[in-house]
Amino acid sequence: MTTPLTILEMSRRSGFSEPTLRYYEKTGLLGRVDRDPGTGHRRYDGATAERVEALACLRSSGVSVDGLRDYVRLVEVGVEAADELRDLFATQAGQLAAEIERLRVRHEYLRLKQELWAARGRGDDDTDVIRRLNEVLQAF
């Protein structure tokens, strides 16, 4: 990225709202955000944009704002915090894997309900679908 991004562009690129970007700046998550000398509007340089994108990825993966603070603090420490950063990512990856499994079960439930009602609509025997639905419900 050669041209700094406006707050609107950064918002669209990251998925964060403009108020969220302002809040993250105010609370120190973004570090210093440059301003256009003529207008005073925020301009996100390459390094800041990379940090925002990293935070957006972490946040959309379920990392709390406190977790984002920990991440920023540890990244600023550098290599000495490698073990802590590894643990942070391992913990979050485990939580995300569990959420993916919960979503997979919910998806299978909805797919089987669709199959059930299609069978009933055709007047077909739905015994097998009901059995498979009950198996999926046990996973909840």
pLDDT in single tens digits along all 140 residues of the chain: 579 999 999 999 999 999 999 999 999 999 899 999 999 999 999 999 999 999 999 999 999 999 999 999 999 999 999 999 999 999 999 999 999 999 999 999 999 999 999 999 999 998 999 999 999 988 77
Three-class SS of residue 38? coil
In a domain, 82, yes or no: no
Phi/psi at 43 (5° precision): -135, 120
Phi/psi at 15 (5° precision): 90, -5
Are 100 and 65 members of one domain? no
Q: Quick one: pLDDT at residue 1?
A: 57
Q: Quick one: pLDDT at residue 139?
A: 79
Are 72 and 106 members of one domain? no
In a domain, 88, yes or no: no
Whole-angstrom Cα distance, residue 99 to residue 126?
30
The C-alpha angle with vertex 97 and arms to 95 and 98, in degrees rounded to 5, equals 65
Q: Quick one: pLDDT at residue 123?
A: 92
Are 73 and 108 members of one domain? no
What is the number of domains present in the chain? 2
61: which 2 tokens?
């993966």
Cβ neighbour number for residue 120 with a 10 Å cutoff: 12
Structural domain of residue 128, as residue ranges? Answer: 94-140
